[in-house]
Each structure stands twice: as structure tokens, then as C-alpha cells.
Amino acid sequence: MRTRRAAFTLTELLVVLAIIALLGALLVYVMPSFRERNRAGRGGQAVQGWLTYARQQAMYRQTPQGVRFMFAPVTLSTGGTTLGVVECQYLEQPDDYNSVVMGANGQPASGYLYPSTPPTATNVVVKGANFADGSVEPGDSLEILGSGVVHHIVDFPPGAPIGTNAGIQRSDPVNFPNIYDMLILDSNLPPNSLDRPVTNYRIIRKPRVSGDESMKLPTGVLINLNLTFTSSPTGYLQYGGYYPSTLRFSDTPLNTQGYFDVMFAPSGAVLETAGSKLILWIHTQEAATAFDSNPTLIVVYTNSGAVAAYNPAPPPAANPYALIR
């Protein structure tokens, strides 16, 4: 007849404790790596969500909406720096500016264009305008309708406030110190385009930041722009050929800080495109290589505006974008 043992032997108990200790050690080793991989994934989900939301808003509101990606040098845990994005902002494009007020005699009393004094081919005055309220800013564009030419209002240095080396200045700083109404353009007006007051014009306003708060990636996660915009001979990192026309630097000539915008049209497509897709490479600062920490590729297809997420093909793949179509 068998008898039931009342307890474990000392040897069995020591074996169980050793197994628990081993599992605990493995967990301590694996958990940081798991958290790192999870952070990179959450960063990719956040970027995909921001872009998708902007696209949906553009289609719903039937006005251009987008996301601004602000970049600056980011220090990597392995040493060195890269050009990275850790913060974004939502954008919306306001309606065109066109202010014409008719006087008692049926003639324009304000809001019309006329030459600067002395006349300059790149300067134009908007009669009665006050751009100090931000209704028109450097970087917006002037179109005299019928001319077929759009003239950009000078924005140098980028982001300069109106009245200080930028494209909007006071036309009469003595008598009207608070009125900013002279536009300085980056190209000459057509000959004789302002030989009379002109009311048939519009100012196309660039996107403005929407909301007071920016969106930030999880701590330690970045969009690596050195892997997003790379030229030959490693041109596969630029797969799709997209290069935003809105790429601006705020510290020229150092070219280490600035922004670029991804704007969606009311149709859902991406505005101002050059290439079939934009690919954003997202990983953590702790990654020893670009393939560590489960990096995520966020892809914006410019023709449709669709936003998708992929994982890059790991080495030794010749093209890490092999899964992207």
C-alpha cells in the first residue's frame, strides 16, 4: 500500500526556488527590451493617428488640414546625434484674404492694391489693410487674378515677425505706426499690372497652427529624419521619392532645426507632393541600430492620402522597405 508524502523534500524545494530565480532573472533581462519595443510601437501608432485624424478633418470640413513635424538635433543613447522629430502640431489652412470696401461713390475705398512709393516691381501696397492682426503673414502668396502668376510674400528669415526684414512692412511708419500694409514679394509683378488700383486679387494664406497644444511622442521615441530624407548612394532610404516643399529651416545656414508639413486636400490626397509616398522611420533613442527596438515605418501614400504602418525588413535585407507597396 502506497503512502502519500506530506511535503516536498529539501532538494525539490531548492530546485523550485532555483527555477523561480532563473525565471525572475530572465524577466528582469527581457522587460526593459519589451518596454523599449512597446514604446516604439506606441510612437508609430500615435503618428499614424495624428495623420489619419488630419486627413479625416480635411475631408469632413472640406478645407486643407495637416500635421507639422518640428525637427531638431536629438542625442542618441549610443552616442552622437541625429535630426529627429519628437513633437508635432495640427494645421489648418484659412480662407483666402480679399478685403474690398466700396465707398459712397461706388469706387473702392479700401482693400485695393496700388504701387509702393517709390514704385518697386516687388513691392505692393494694400490700401487700408492692417496685417498686424495676423490676417496675412510672411509666407502667404499674392495672386493678381488674370495674371496667372502667384507671388510669394517674402519670409526671410523664416518665421520673422512682420515689419522686421520680412515680407510685410509699414508703408507709412511715421503717420501710421501700427498699420502694416506693404507686401514685399519674391518675384517681380508683371509690367503695368498696377497702373491703376486693382481689386481683382487674392492672398492665399499658408497653413496656420490649429489649437494651443502640440502632440508629443512617448519619451525616448523619435522620427529619425536622417533615415527619412537620405540621398544617393543609399537612396533606398528615400524610397518613394517624397520630399516636402514645405521643408523650412529656422537657423539657416546651420540647417539643423525647422519643420515640414504634411497637408491633406479635401479629397484626402496630400497637397504639394513630390513622389508617391512619404516614409517616416520611428524608433527609440536607445536603439543601437535603426533596426533595434522594433522600429515602425509610417507610410503616407500621397495620391490617396492613406496612412499605413509597417515594420522594416531586418538585415541582411537589401531593401528594408521591401514590404511597402
pLDDT tens digits, one per residue of 259-269:
889 999 999 99
Query: Using CA atoms, how far apart are residues 170 and 178, in angstroms rounded to an integer?
Result: 8
Q: Which of 206, 223, 240 is the last residue of a domain?
A: 206
Mean local confidence (pLDDT), 247-262? 79
Q: Total domain count for the chain?
A: 2
- Provide the pLDDT for residue 7: 61
Query: Using CA atoms, how far apart are residues 302 and 308, in angstroms rounded to an integer?
Result: 12
**Does residue 28 lie in a domain region?**
no
Q: How much helix, strand and coil, in percent to the nearest 5, is found in the chain?
A: 20, 30, 50
pTM: 0.77
Residue 156 lies in domain: 94-206
Average pLDDT, the chain: 81
Domain identity same for 287 and 187: no
pLDDT digits (tens, 9 = 90+) for 165-216: 678 988 888 888 888 888 999 888 888 788 888 888 889 998 999 887 899 9
Domain identity same for 83 and 98: no
Query: Using CA atoms, how far apart are residues 14 and 107, in angstroms rounded to an integer?
Result: 100
Tell me the three-class secondary structure of 267-310, residue by residue: CCCECCCCCCEEEEEEEECCCCCCCCCCCEEEEEECCCCCEEEE
Domain identity same for 87 and 233: yes
Domain identity same for 54 and 196: no
Domain identity same for 285 and 137: no
**Does residue 220 lie in a domain region?**
yes
State the greatest distance between any 2 C-alpha atoms of the chain, in Å, as a whole number.
Answer: 122
For residue 66, give the H/E element and its range: strand 65-75
Query: Using CA atoms, how far apart are residues 133 and 127, in angstroms rounded to an integer?
Result: 16
Pairing of strands 141-144, 168-169: unpaired
More confident site: 85 or 252? 85
CA-CA-CA-CA torsion sign (174, 176, 180, 183): negative
Does the pLDDT of residue 52 top 80, yes or no?
A: yes
Query: Using CA atoms, how far apart are residues 255 and 250, in angstroms rounded to an integer?
Result: 8
**Does residue 33 lie in a domain region?**
no
Q: How confident is the model at residue 130 (pLDDT cuts 50, 70, 90)?
A: confident
Q: Which of 182, 206, 230 is the last residue of a domain?
A: 206
Domain identity same for 71 and 218: yes
Domain identity same for 107 and 158: yes
Q: Cα 130 from chain centroid?
A: 29
Which three three-digit cell numbers place residue 52?
489619419
Domain identity same for 127 and 102: yes
Of 212, 225, 213, whose CA–CA distance to 280 is shortest?
225
Max avg pLDDT among 42-56, 161-175, 256-270: 42-56
CATH number of the domain to which 291 belongs: 3.55.40.10
Domain identity same for 249 and 202: no
Which three three-digit cell numbers place residue 99?
478685403
Domain identity same for 202 and 262: no
Instruction: Choose the weakest-confidence range: 153-162, 193-202, 213-222.
Output: 153-162
Is the preceding omega at residue 233 within 30 degrees of 0, hence cis?
yes
Q: What percentage of residues in the chain have a pLDDT greater than 70?
A: 82
Domain identity same for 151 and 77: no
Reduced to 3 states (helix: H, G, I; strand: E, B; else coil), residue 269 is: coil
Domain identity same for 191 and 138: yes
Q: Which of 206, 239, 272 is the last residue of a domain?
A: 206
